[in-house]
Structure 1
Amino acid sequence: MRLFSLKKLFLTTIVCCGIQFSSYAQQQPEFLEYTNSKWVDSVMQKLSPNERIAQLIMVAAYSNRDSKHKEEILKLIKEQKIGGLIFFQGTAKKQVQLMNDYQLVSEVPLLGAIDAEWGLGMRLDNTISFPYQMALGAIQDDTLLYKMGEEVARQIKRTGLHMNFAPVVDVNNNPNNPVINYRSFGEDKEKVAEKGIAYMKGMQDQKILTSAKHFPGHGDTDTDSHKALPQINHPFSRLDSLEMYPFKKLIDAGIGGVMVAHLNIPALDSSGVPSTLSKKIISGILKEKLGFKGLIVTDAMNMKGVTTGNEPGVVDKKAIIAGNDLLEFTEDVPKAIAEVRKAINQGVISQKDIDEKCRKVLAVKQWVGLHKYEALKTANIDKELNNSYAKYIQQKLVEKSLTVLKNEQEMIPLRRLDTLKIASISIGAEKKTTFQENLGWYTKIDHFQLKNEASASQISAVKEKLKNYNVVIAGLHDHSKYPRNSIQYSNAVLKFIAEIAQNEHTIFSIFKNPYTLNKIDNIEEASVVIEAYQDSELSQQKAAQLIFGGFKADGKLPVSVGDKFKAGDGVETSEKIRFSYTAPEDAGMNADFLQNGIDSLMQQAMDLKAIPGGVVLIAKDEKIVFQKAYGLHKYSDTVKTQASDLFDLASVTKISSALPALMKLHDEGKFSLEDGIDDYLPYFKNSNKADVPFRQIFAHQARFKPWIAFWQNTLRKNGSYKWNTFKKDSSARFPIKISNDMWLHRNYKKKIYKAIKKSPLEEKAEYKYSGLAFYLLPQIVENLSNEDYRTYLNENFYSKLGATTLGYRPTEEFDISRIVPTESDFNFRHEPIHGSVHDEGAIMMDGVSANAGLFSNANDLAKLMQMYLNMGEYGGERYIEETTFKEWTKTQFPENNNRRAIAFDKPNLKYTGPGNNTAKDASAASFGHTGFTGTMVWMDPAKELLFVFLSNRVLPTRDNQRLYSLNTRTQIQQVLYDSIDN
């Protein structure tokens, strides 16, 4: 499915705005136009009086039960001619199979319903759950709820059903409510109505009948009507102006159904009968006072709130007499039909009344399309239900629900990462949480956990460790199935939370029901409080992104929390400053097209042994929309590639190390492209490279030789190494490790410089790629900055960006298991290369060169590249001036048929077909670089598009050229552009 077009989005917005509380005449449910249709008339003529009663009965069906249950349902359909089924637990595929079977034996098509308040995931395994309604109550853009309604409707129809017993429009103004609570949009009656209408409209516009519940309002109860009959003692004026307000508005907006709750409400009916059985409430108020002409449905007729003191069958008769049209979860169908027949014979209710109800049910069936019923196929159903568009809507809803209740001194989004030492602690967890894993995508963070019943010694140990950090991010978790208003932490853990809440620079993310905040001392004193409403994986992911500025928060608290926070509280965070991790649709890309295209090309490359594996990362509009690892570290092992693995970047180092340093130094007036090497390294004066400007050098038309095999200069004629180059053991004179039994002389760098200085020049000043000058750049950076080269890069770029894996000599910081191996070197080192730079010249520079040597995972490399794409800015901080970036990324000598920018590669001046160096749709403004080990980064400002491709194509040997012949990297790059257009 595709993201809505702008036209459709505009129309959708109008629809949603139109349903807000402007004054208009009451809209009648659409299905009512069919009550006297030809199809309904024809069915009515075929139904006996008892069969017309049976059409008002809906029994419970399950798709996770045995054949005995199925036979029971089939028997009810064949013998009792029931009108419908409400499905509960099971799977989508089985539900479709069963519904097909049930429809096959039913003379009148069955109306299928489900409780899908937050989507099919409420009932069916392996289907999508959207946020609970309390989280939705925090969202300020009701258009999203409309879109959710559309998608929920599509999914319900795909599983063979036609009616959703939703939305819940109870105003939850009782924090102790055990049954509504997180299922309510909140305590503001107008917002409850607005959101209920948006959700309802989305579903009904897709021809799914909805049923507002639980009339006349179940929000202010402290009893669960599944277990007993709640009593509400408010006066009529309060009930009329508050509890019934959303129902009135949804009725005015044209809702098709209303579900009546099991409640004892003396102000509406002093007899004490449940509202489901009250003629005063249903016929007197709902139908006559409120003018509702749609389908009136009972809450489940097996709940204790209505069954206590009432026999099955008899209770159903009472519900029909009270004015209900459809009985949900009838327990004794034959008796219910017999009791209603008895009531007709006794004159308590007329056959005409029954016929009118029956016509309503049949009209609904025609409105949803059952008059043209066709069996559904089960093929691909799980994939269709878990579609990319639904996942996108799910993500946006969670993102927009997150509510920042406090943000002292605008602490979030966190800035200046290089100044922060951050710890995260997940409370209520025993292992690293999804929240913590996602925090780690942004910068280095140390993680701790405390379980619900942590001992005093465990708490004390954590407290002591937290003293070493200047930012603490605490996640409060509740891994129960539903976010109820209870708290399970021990008193000791609660005391610990209260203590750290008073510490400056503590950030809390609450993955619990907001009412629980009232049970945590001092939580309102914390520097930052984020309410996430539920403990889902998605909520944890999005909360982490919010803290680091992946998106802006604008959620508002839908309920009051004691004296700590009030309904409507919520601080808007200032701006988006870093990556968010989101669905492709969020950036206008087609997720299915993207994934299918990339997967197939990567699989082709692996099948043909072009690469053993790799990582592909795609970002658009500063949103990472695709990050996936493929294959293995090596063809011969079982170590799977992970997205967090570090790769040898090879020549991508050229644009990722000294280049940003020189741009910064250029901004400071310390470096000029018009100067030559000799201006910064006097050693090169009087050489053939003196006075050659860096503009020409970086554009690769300075006549420099492409490369020098420095290691070959260490060999004698007999093939042994010269005595002053290598030793088998390290020492003060031979400290540079080449391999386990090769240690290079400490001054060998001078010989490399000498070889570069003396190398001859090419005859013509034309484009010829050369890496020679890049060996010299670290020294130039050190001379200009008066700092160690690696320190300068870390302090000015990598640490600030939070690019913690981006750097030289990775084994100094990371376990070798995280580093992907490269070539088995049979020429120089005579061993497999793993953890050290592949390039021979770079390893002879002690692994630190601007020619090669950097390692990184895709995520951290993308941060630097996104800074480039942003023309020098990322994380709310400017690194390099925009004018500098624009100059350095433009083609320098096109008149000389040279496509190159300043060190950056550019698309060929003319597209050369399938073997082109970039995708055909890459814009002329795009820039990037490739690496010998099989890497590629490319940025396109015209589309705000970033592409990172990491692989180790040189394994086992550099002679493997298949990645080039397949042109895998640029073919994948083209998929990105195509996914925008599809």
Structure 2
Amino acid sequence: MHHSSTNSTGNTARPSRRTVLAATAGVTAALAVGGTAQAAPLDDSKLRGLISRMTLEEKVGQLFVMRVYGHSATAPDQADVDANLKEIGVRSPAELIAKYRVGGIIYFTWAHNTRDPHQIADLSNGIQKASLELPRGLPVLISTDQEHGIVARVGKPATLFPGAMAIGAGGSRSDARTFGRIAGRELHAMGIRQDYAPVADVNVNPANPVIGVRSFGSDPEAVAELVAAEVTGFQASGVSATAKHFPGHGDTETDSHYGFPVITHTRGQWDALDAPPFRAAIAAGIDSIMTAHIMVPALDDSGDPATLSRPILTGILREELGYDGVVVTDSLGMQGVRTKYGDDRVPVLALKAGVDQLLNPPNLDIAWNAVLTAVRTGELTEERLDESILRVLRMKAKLGLFEDAYVSHGGVDRAVGVRQHLIAADRIAERTTTLLVNEGGLLPLAPSEHGKLLVVGADPASPSGTTGPPTGVLAAALTGLGFTATALSTGTAPSSATIARAVAAAQDADAVVVATYNVTASSSQKSLVRELRATGKPVVAVAVRNPYDVAHLPDVPAFLASYSWTDVEVRAAARVIAGRVAPRGKLPVPVQRADDPAQVLYPVGHGLTY
């Protein structure tokens, strides 16, 4: 583990509170009446005074939230130095801040920002120190995508919770609020103060390739309630939640990372289907809202993505919905926002549309200079920049960053992955596991009758919430519950030889558990299940992502949905299979028939128990 520096008590060396206050030009005193920034009335006049002392270059920098490679602010590994030089033209996070004065940094696993909690805390402190020690230095807003479920940038030993669709299956606002409070507390302890969660998209399209189980479900009002509860939990922990992706990415068959989706909802459909969760988030006091790189002709017929649409971001979000918090773009490196305009035009058009934070442009130098030039040529006014900077600084002030931007190893140890948090995640996961089929009361399995289990199936790439492939985690969990379970990974597209190997292994088992992943009409996973069924052994299927798999496997006698293949959900499914807990989840989306999608096979609210 890298430590930037530690004292004898094991806490990260951190500047004194007095140093932070001095570095922020005394603005804290104006904000922190009564001892904490959050308790104080926000004094816009003091923040405007801060803005008035900034150079134009510093103002432009405040609008950007940028990726940067490395586990350390000042001494990244050589491979990360090389990546930074190639993509950004700097060597380290500290150099990025010094050169561009960015207002925010986003952490990614693949950028090597999130090795372990102490390292993350050290990196956060190093970033804050690098910024606060500059002339007119400001605290940095550090963010990440910690949705939980299949999208989590901070892995174990942090507490990992079920994802949104699982929470939707549990249907508990209390659980959603608890999840947000605990997840927020852990992020806060590591210096991450803005989380790009929750997903407020209503997943009304089963073919949606990018949202799916990241959504709470298909019912707008149910999604709205859970979004508001999660927002309340996060923000009670001093972390700004971010509802995404406005105006709603739930009904698309195109992934905006790679293409430009078009949403064909009418204005009336948008009001009824897509808007309620965002309205609920705003009513709950959400600090930030993320835009979607999608076209919604009913809201803006110009052909522009919502991220660059003034009618959508200013006309609807600001003026109609009355939102005056921070608007952040989705990543500007995604194809959905780059299809129509060049990388130099996108940030300027986003600001003209009403955006405040420009997230992760593919080339920061091009984007930063484009905004600078737009102000110097009069396309953008400095007053327009000041509006956005004021919103960003308000959020930083609300989070207490002007008062104390630093964290400690002791704070990490008291919050991250502590026993009571892990227990809470397990209990919530148990309330989300959904039993869709249980012919003849096959489940729960008993070790006395089905002592030897074979666990086969898909082992998709592991997100941060996993210790290994789901077949292995499931087998280990079942073995711990009194069975003798053997794992055999057959992949997401098993070959005939792999299927034959699984069938041979099944001969020695009393029952077979199959992990399924995104089964389609042509998937060879269907052949795997069919041939395992032909052995005469009892077969239990667990959909480790989309519950829609059940429509393609009509002959499976027992079928569970876990909504993700992260450890917390897979282990909960094992406890349900073993009868240690009863399944309580209810489908938050309808499952349509595979042979006739106009017909519903299992409606919203379906879920068996025992």
TM-score bracket relative to the smaller structure:
0.7 to 0.9
Partner of 1:71: 91
Partner secondary structure for residue 71 of structure 1? coil
Unaligned runs of 5+ in 2: 1-36, 85-89, 132-136, 460-468, 594-600
1:38 and 1:508, CA in 2 relative to 1: closer, same or farther beyond 3 A? same
Q: How many angstroms apart in 1 are the aligned matches of 2:475 and 2:160? A: 22
Partner of 1:24: none
Pairing of 1:934-973 with structure 2 (within 5 A): none
Partner secondary structure for residue 332 of structure 2? coil
Q: How many angstroms apart in 2 are the aligned matches of 1:281 and 1:95? A: 36
Partner of 2:513: 474
**Letter of the aligned partner of 1:549 in structure 2?**
G
Q: How many angstroms apart in 1 are the aligned matches of 2:214 and 2:41? A: 33
Partner of 2:320: 289
* 1:436 positional shift: 3.6
Partner of 2:495: 453
Task: Say if 2:38 and 2:400, in contact at 8 Å, map to a contact too.
Answer: no
**Are 2:159 and 1:128 equivalent residues in the alignment?**
yes
**Letter of the aligned partner of 1:496 in structure 2?**
E
1:228 and 1:441, CA in 2 relative to 1: closer, same or farther beyond 3 A? closer
**Are 2:564 and 1:534 equivalent residues in the alignment?**
yes
Q: How many angstroms apart in 2 are the aligned matches of 1:347 and 1:231? A: 32
Fraction of identical pairs, as percent: 29
Partner of 1:55: 62
Q: How many angstroms apart in 1 are the aligned matches of 2:520 and 2:186? A: 30
Partner of 2:119: 94
Q: Specify which of 549, 572, 578 is matched with residue 516 of structure 1.
A: 549
Partner secondary structure for residue 302 of structure 1? coil
Pairing of 1:35-54 with structure 2 (within 5 A): 36-37=43-44, 39-54=46-61
Q: Specify which of 120, 123, 128 is matched with residue 103 of structure 1.
A: 128
The normalised TM-score by structure 1 is 0.50
Q: Specify which of 450, 454, 461 is matched with residue 425 of structure 1.
A: 454
Q: How many angstroms apart in 1 are the aligned matches of 2:320 and 2:359? A: 24
Task: Say if 2:526 and 2:552, in contact at 8 Å, map to a contact too.
Answer: no
**Letter of the aligned partner of 1:95 in structure 2?**
I
1:220 and 1:497, CA in 2 relative to 1: closer, same or farther beyond 3 A? farther
Partner of 1:211: 242
Task: Say if 2:65 and 2:358, in contact at 8 Å, map to a contact too.
Answer: yes
Partner of 1:710: none
1:211 and 1:57, CA in 2 relative to 1: closer, same or farther beyond 3 A? same
* 1:164 positional shift: 0.6
Task: Say if 1:314 and 1:335, in contact at 8 Å, map to a contact too.
Answer: no
Task: Say if 2:437 and 2:608, in contact at 8 Å, map to a contact too.
Answer: yes
Partner of 2:4: none
The normalised TM-score by structure 2 is 0.78
Q: How many angstroms apart in 1 are the aligned matches of 2:288 and 2:39? A: 11
Pairing of 1:181-192 with structure 2 (within 5 A): 181-192=212-223
**Are 2:107 and 1:84 equivalent residues in the alignment?**
no
1:421 and 1:283, CA in 2 relative to 1: closer, same or farther beyond 3 A? closer
Partner secondary structure for residue 591 of structure 2? coil
* 1:447 positional shift: 5.4
Q: Specify which of 314, 328, 332 is matched with residue 301 of structure 1.
A: 332
Pairing of 1:922-933 with structure 2 (within 5 A): none
Partner secondary structure for residue 592 of structure 2? coil
Q: How many angstroms apart in 2 are the aligned matches of 1:506 and 1:337? A: 57
Q: Write out per-residue CA displacement over residues 238-264 of structure 1, whole angstroms, 9 at most, x where no aligned residue.
A: 112102221112112221111011011
Partner secondary structure for residue 436 of structure 2? strand
Task: Say if 1:177 and 1:222, in contact at 8 Å, map to a contact too.
Answer: yes
Q: Bigger shift: 54-63 or 139-148? A: 54-63
Task: Say if 2:121 and 2:412, in contact at 8 Å, map to a contact too.
Answer: no
Pairing of 1:588-607 with structure 2 (within 5 A): none
Task: Say if 2:333 and 2:360, in contact at 8 Å, map to a contact too.
Answer: yes
1:496 and 1:239, CA in 2 relative to 1: closer, same or farther beyond 3 A? same
* 1:346 positional shift: 5.3
Q: How many angstroms apart in 2 are the aligned matches of 1:533 and 1:376? A: 34
**Are 2:156 and 1:149 equivalent residues in the alignment?**
no
**Letter of the aligned partner of 1:79 in structure 2?**
K
Partner secondary structure for residue 153 of structure 1? helix
Q: How many angstroms apart in 2 are the aligned matches of 1:151 and 1:485? A: 36
Task: Say if 2:264 and 2:296, in contact at 8 Å, map to a contact too.
Answer: yes
**Letter of the aligned partner of 2:543 in structure 1?**
I
* 1:334 positional shift: 4.7
1:76 and 1:444, CA in 2 relative to 1: closer, same or farther beyond 3 A? closer
**Letter of the aligned partner of 2:457 in structure 1?**
G
Pairing of 1:621-632 with structure 2 (within 5 A): none
Pairing of 1:794-833 with structure 2 (within 5 A): none
**Are 2:256 and 1:225 equivalent residues in the alignment?**
yes
1:542 and 1:333, CA in 2 relative to 1: closer, same or farther beyond 3 A? closer
Q: How many angstroms apart in 2 are the aligned matches of 1:513 and 1:330? A: 31
Q: Write out per-residue CA displacement over residues 93-130 of structure 1, whole angstroms, 9 at most, x where no aligned residue.
A: 33332332222232111111111111898113433332
**Letter of the aligned partner of 1:495 in structure 2?**
R
Q: How many angstroms apart in 2 are the aligned matches of 1:444 and 1:390? A: 28
Q: Specify which of 314, 328, 346 is matched with residue 315 of structure 1.
A: 346
Q: Write out per-residue CA displacement over residues 147-189 of structure 1, whole angstroms, 9 at most, x where no aligned residue.
A: 1111111111111121111110111122221111121111111
Q: How many angstroms apart in 1 are the aligned matches of 2:344 and 2:39? A: 28
**Are 2:277 and 1:246 equivalent residues in the alignment?**
yes
Partner of 1:613: none
**Are 2:590 and 1:551 equivalent residues in the alignment?**
no
1:194 and 1:51, CA in 2 relative to 1: closer, same or farther beyond 3 A? same
**Letter of the aligned partner of 1:228 in structure 2?**
G
**Letter of the aligned partner of 1:105 in structure 2?**
A
**Letter of the aligned partner of 1:386 in structure 2?**
G
Partner of 1:826: none
Q: Write out per-residue CA displacement over residues 634-660 of structure 1, whole angstroms, 9 at most, x where no aligned residue.
A: xxxxxxxxxxxxxxxxxxxxxxxxxxx
Partner of 2:527: 492
* 1:408 positional shift: 4.1
1:454 and 1:540, CA in 2 relative to 1: closer, same or farther beyond 3 A? farther
Q: How many angstroms apart in 1 are the aligned matches of 2:581 and 2:476? A: 18
Greater Cα radius of gyration, structure 1 or 2: 1
* 1:349 positional shift: 4.0
Q: How many angstroms apart in 2 are the aligned matches of 1:104 and 1:414? A: 56
Q: How many angstroms apart in 1 are the aligned matches of 2:539 and 2:253? A: 35
Q: Specify which of 397, 403, 416 is matched with residue 434 of structure 2.
A: 403
Task: Say if 1:175 and 1:485, in contact at 8 Å, map to a contact too.
Answer: no
Q: CA RMSD in A?
A: 3.2
Task: Say if 1:169 and 1:214, in contact at 8 Å, map to a contact too.
Answer: yes
* 1:31 positional shift: 8.0
Task: Say if 2:181 and 2:237, in contact at 8 Å, map to a contact too.
Answer: yes
Partner of 1:954: none
Task: Say if 2:542 and 2:560, in contact at 8 Å, map to a contact too.
Answer: yes
1:98 and 1:541, CA in 2 relative to 1: closer, same or farther beyond 3 A? closer
Q: Write out per-residue CA displacement over residues 818-869 of structure 1, whole angstroms, 9 at most, x where no aligned residue.
A: xxxxxxxxxxxxxxxxxxxxxxxxxxxxxxxxxxxxxxxxxxxxxxxxxxxx
Partner of 1:971: none
* Count of aligned residue pairs for this structure pair: 529
Q: How many angstroms apart in 1 are the aligned matches of 2:96 and 2:178? A: 37
* 1:454 positional shift: 5.3
Partner of 2:309: 278
1:56 and 1:459, CA in 2 relative to 1: closer, same or farther beyond 3 A? closer
Q: How many angstroms apart in 1 are the aligned matches of 2:48 and 2:402? A: 12
Q: How many angstroms apart in 1 are the aligned matches of 2:125 and 2:546? A: 39
Q: How many angstroms apart in 1 are the aligned matches of 2:383 and 2:520? A: 47
Pairing of 1:577-976 with structure 2 (within 5 A): none
Task: Say if 1:251 and 1:292, in contact at 8 Å, map to a contact too.
Answer: yes
1:63 and 1:383, CA in 2 relative to 1: closer, same or farther beyond 3 A? farther
